[in-house]
Structure 1
Amino acid sequence: MNEKDILKLVGARIRVLRKKRGLSQESLGEKGGFHFSYIGQIERGEKNVSLINLAKIATALEVNVAQLFTYVHEDSELTEADAVMKEIVMMLRESNQEKIRIAKNVVREILRGND
């Protein structure tokens, strides 16, 4: 993988996250303190964005920086099990700590039954 490929993958991931949140390039730029054209250049893999700016973009997208480097296949390429796990993770992300703890205990008990 060359440098340009990395820039394109990160840019594509930012675009996917931005669109999932219903944000335009302009609104993401405003939230992160950037001009919309800079966001477009990043998404197209034309800019080698700094870590500081990636952190600002992640904050504006309400994700952690690591999620900008998580390249996932389109949903149509996911196995059924992957799709279910993705759905569970999304539900957990929207839950509070107590519900997450309860879910963890339920899953532990279910899996314990498979031993």
Structure 2
Amino acid sequence: MGARIRALRKERGYSQESLGEKGGFHFSYIGQIERGEKNVSLVNLAKIAESLDVNLIQLFAYVEEEFEVTENDVQIYEVVQLLRNSSSEDIRVAKNVIKGLLM
């Protein structure tokens, strides 16, 4: 995980300090994660991913693996985010609308 974070950070031209600032972490914490000296929680991984402008799926992709998020992936993610903040009734209605569109 640390190697992946380092690779993404360097691709974006961020220093450990600038990535730490974006995510609300001390730069030494970022360095410890990159070197595998610290275990990192999923909450902090999500903050790091957001700071790197990637989603968690991309963060977990192998460094050597070419991983591309399609436009459909982005759209699905956005729909899920909208539904997370919706009532149970709104989610049920949205599900029925989607079923109707796809059948």
What TM bracket, shorter-length normalisation? 0.5 to 0.7
Which has a greater percent of helix? 1
Deviation track 1:31-59 (CA, whole Å, cap 9, x = no partner) reads 00000000000000111100000000000
In the alignment, the residues of structure 1 paired with residue 10 and residue 63 of structure 2 have an alpha-carbon distance, to the nearest angstrom, of: 15
Aligned match of 1:30: 21
Q: After the TM superposition, which segments of 4 or more aligned residues of structure 1 sit over 3 Å from their partners?
A: none
Gaps of 5+ in 2: 76-103
SS of structure 1 residue aligned to 2:58: helix
Q: Tell me the percent identity.
A: 75
Considering only aligned residues, what root-mean-square deviation do their CA atoms show, in Å?
2.2
- 1:66-94 CA-to-partner distances (Å, cap 9, x unmatched) read 211101328xxxxxxx7xxx7xx58x77x
| Partner residue in 1 for 2:82 | none
SS of equivalent residue, structure 2 residue 49: helix
CA distance in 2, matches of 1:72, 1:19: 12
User: How far apart are the structure 1 equivalents of 2:27 and 2:42?
Assistant: 18
Question: Contact 2:3–2:63 (CA<8 Å) still a contact in 1?
Answer: no
Question: Normalized against structure 2, the TM-score is what?
Answer: 0.63
